[in-house]
Amino acid sequence: MASRTFIEAIREGMADELRRDGSVIVLGEDVGKKGGVFLATDGLWAEFGDDRVIDTPLTESMIVGASIGAALNGLRPIAEIQFADFIHPAFNQIVSEAARMRYRTVGGATVPMVIRAPYGGGVHGALYHSQSIEAFFAHVPGLKVVVPSTPYDAKGLLRSSVRDEDPVLYLEHKKMYRSVRGEVPDGEYTVPLGRAVVRRPGRQLTVVAYGLMVHYALEAAERVAGEGIDCEIVDLRTLRPLDRDTLLTSVRKTGKCLVAYEDNRFLGYGAEIAAIVAEEAFDYLDGPVSRIAGPDTPAMPYNHILEDWFMLSPAKIADAIRKLAAY
């Protein structure tokens, strides 16, 4: 085991898969010699060369379209979208082509590719470098959506994503890149897609989260523990396919559910979690299924004070926990 930052674990995951499988390639804007805008691919070009670590034009639709073509012809691309905010020009390629290829060919063709995209705010990125885009894509059958929260999971889930036969959107919260550190095994391991994990066991209330919000929820749970509120924290890890069993088992045990997500509240991913809990665990509930999320404003402000107003925090989540616990 070795201590790694979140971004180091992602880089190691890509390097390991490039070494393991000669069909794996990496492509995107500035991923080559520069190593990417966040240095996620730093050192890969020097080791694997420009046949396998490929700089592309600034054209997201082409990056994804070329990856689909490569995947259909025996390669396993890892495509980087420099910021999740810029993924929208590739929306048609992802949703109408990659996600539907297995269906339209009656299983005759698959698209084994990964699309990596840094998402989320809290880094003074303002309008075009702070968006959470998971709800757009988790809606789509045929596309898997992964959001790791720890370096261990970041590496293990990435390796599983590369080996999967279907397209995977792999979202990385950029604020975690160098602020989150954890132990990562040196040897071969994977983390299976579609399985959530209980990060903190508890008896009175379930908090459901993913990505950065897992860390905020854990901190919030520690804050309220001294007040006699015992929270269970469920880290979804994979938004699609969703691990309903872990989610519902936790809520049926605690009787209360709070969903924490950074995206706009209205029609955000947490709304689906709330609907599933209300439909399938209603008889176990001792209070309303609650959500705490970003406000319904068009974008995250740049101003530090307004950015803090938009972003969730451990303090805000703790307040939401107190309110639900008191119901």
Whichever domain contains 217, its CATH number is 3.40.50.920
Contact (CB, 8 A) for 166 and 155 = no
Is residue 120 located within the same domain as residue 255? no
Q: Count Cα atoms within 13 angstroms, Cβ side, for 306.
A: 10
Contact (CB, 8 A) for 250 and 273 = no
- Is residue 190 a part of any domain in this protein? no
Residue 201 preceded by cis peptide, ω within 30: no
Among residues 127, 159, 184, the one where a domain terminates is 184
Q: Which ranges constitute the DSSP H helices of the chain?
A: 6-20, 44-48, 60-72, 91-92, 101-104, 134-138, 151-163, 212-225, 244-254, 269-280, 304-310, 314-325
**CATH at residue 75:** 3.40.50.970
Is residue 87 located within the same domain as residue 178? yes
Among residues 184, 210, 243, the one where a domain terminates is 184
Range of the domain at 319: 197-325
Is residue 166 located within the same domain as residue 29? yes
Q: Rounded CA gap, 169 and 100, in Å?
A: 14
Return mean pLDDT, the chain: 97
Is residue 180 located within the same domain as residue 280? no
Q: The sheet that has 290-294: what strands, in order across it?
A: 197-200, 231-235, 205-209, 257-264, 290-294
Over the stretch 274-320, which tens digit does the pLDDT of each residue have? 999 999 999 999 999 999 999 999 989 998 999 999 999 999 999 99
Pick the closest to residue 98 from 108, 87, 84, 112 (CA basis). Answer: 112
DSSP state of 253: H
What is the pLDDT averaged over residues 188-198? 97
Task: Label residue 1 by pLDDT band (50, 70, 90).
Answer: confident
Instruction: Report pLDDT for 123.
Output: 92
Over the stretch 108-139, which tens digit does the pLDDT of each residue have? 999 999 999 999 999 999 889 999 999 999 99
Is residue 170 located within the same domain as residue 305? no
Instruction: Report pLDDT for 306.
Output: 92
Contact (CB, 8 A) for 276 and 229 = no
Cite the active site residues.
129
Q: Rounded CA gap, 161 and 321, in Å?
A: 33
Is residue 123 located within the same domain as residue 80? yes
